[in-house]
């Protein structure tokens, strides 16, 4: 339970901190959906980020961040009969990146006499480097509640570091606006002072 919540949290964290590489954000929209008809939203009864019979802290942070984004677009929260339902899912994957480059000892040892003037031919042995990292993925699903049909999906994918895992709510707050920047309904302009 806690491990899954941490995975979802870490997936969100990946895009929100300056100490991590930028997340890749993508979105898919149902071209047949009429987004002008959606006036209210709610959350699915059991979120993908909750595996127990209670709401995790990660889910609570996700809900708060998504609610801010949807309300900023003029869509009101409704606990009883929403037009849209929102769900979340997160996962972590351990990844390996293996790369090979020709072993060219230009500046040291016996081959130092080449002094960077020219390189070797392709028969030289390859040097292999391995980069192990954790990749996190966060999905935000928006569903037409009446039709029970997915109408929009936003996804953030990126590296997750230990420093990111320690500040999940702030990371969620940072990545959710990036995900919703691709939502079909734009943010409403904030009211001007004195209006």
What confidence tens digit (pLDDT) does each residue in 150-185 have?
999 999 987 777 766 677 888 899 999 999 999 999
Q: Which has more confidence, 147 or 120?
A: 147
Token pair 């004195």 is found at 194
Measure CA of the first residue to CA of the last residue in the chain; give whole Å: 47
Give the mean pLDDT of 81-106.
Answer: 76
Q: What is the pLDDT of residue 125?
A: 63
What is the helix (H) or strand (E) element at residue 53, kind and residue range?
A: none
**How far apart are the C-alpha atoms of 82 and 85, rounded to whole Å?**
7
Give the mean pLDDT of 19-43.
Answer: 88
Q: How confident is the model at residue 6 (pLDDT cuts 50, 70, 90)?
A: very low
Q: How confident is the model at residue 112 (pLDDT cuts 50, 70, 90)?
A: low
Buried b (16+ CB within 10 A) or exposed e, 168-177: bbebbbbbbe
Q: What is the pLDDT of residue 108?
A: 54
Alpha helix (H) ranges present in 103-167?
A: 162-165
Domain range 2-97+133-180, its CATH number among 3.30.160.670, 3.90.1150.10, 3.20.20.140, 3.40.30.10: 3.30.160.670
Q: Please tell me the pTM assigned to this model.
A: 0.71
- The answer to whether the CB of 126 falls within 8 A of the CB of 42 is no
Strands 40-43 and 24-29 come out as unpaired
The model's pLDDT over 126-158, given as tens digits with 9 standing for 90+, comes to 676 766 666 678 999 999 999 999 999 999 987
Q: What are phi and psi of 16, to 5 degrees?
A: -95, -10
Mean residue pLDDT of the chain comes to 79
At 53, list the tokens.
């019979």
- Choose among 2, 21, 8: nearest CA to 163: 21
Lowest-pLDDT choice from 1-10, 60-69, 119-128, 186-195? 1-10
């Amino acid at each position: 339970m806690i491990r899954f919540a941490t995975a979802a949290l870490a997936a969100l964290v990946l895009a929100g901190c300056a100490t991590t590489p930028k997340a890749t954000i993508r979105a898919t929209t149902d071209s047949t959906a009429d987004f002008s008809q959606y006036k209210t939203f709610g959350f699915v009864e059991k979120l993908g980020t909750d595996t127990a019979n209670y709401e995790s802290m990660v889910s609570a942070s996700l809900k708060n961040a998504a609610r801010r984004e949807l309300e900023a677009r003029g869509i009101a929260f409704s606990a009883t009969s929403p037009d849209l339902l929102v769900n979340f899912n997160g996962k972590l994957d351990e990844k390996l990146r293996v790369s090979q480059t020709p072993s060219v000892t230009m500046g040291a040892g016996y081959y130092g006499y080449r002094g960077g003037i020219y390189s070797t031919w392709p028969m030289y042995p390859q040097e292999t480097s391995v980069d192990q990292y954790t990749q996190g993925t966060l999905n935000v699903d928006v569903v037409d509640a009446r039709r029970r049909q997915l109408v929009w999906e936003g996804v953030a994918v990126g590296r997750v570091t230990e420093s990111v895992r320690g500040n999940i709510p702030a990371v969620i707050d940072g990545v959710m606006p990036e995900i919703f920047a691709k939502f079909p309904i734009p943010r409403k302009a904030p009211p001007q002072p004195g209006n």
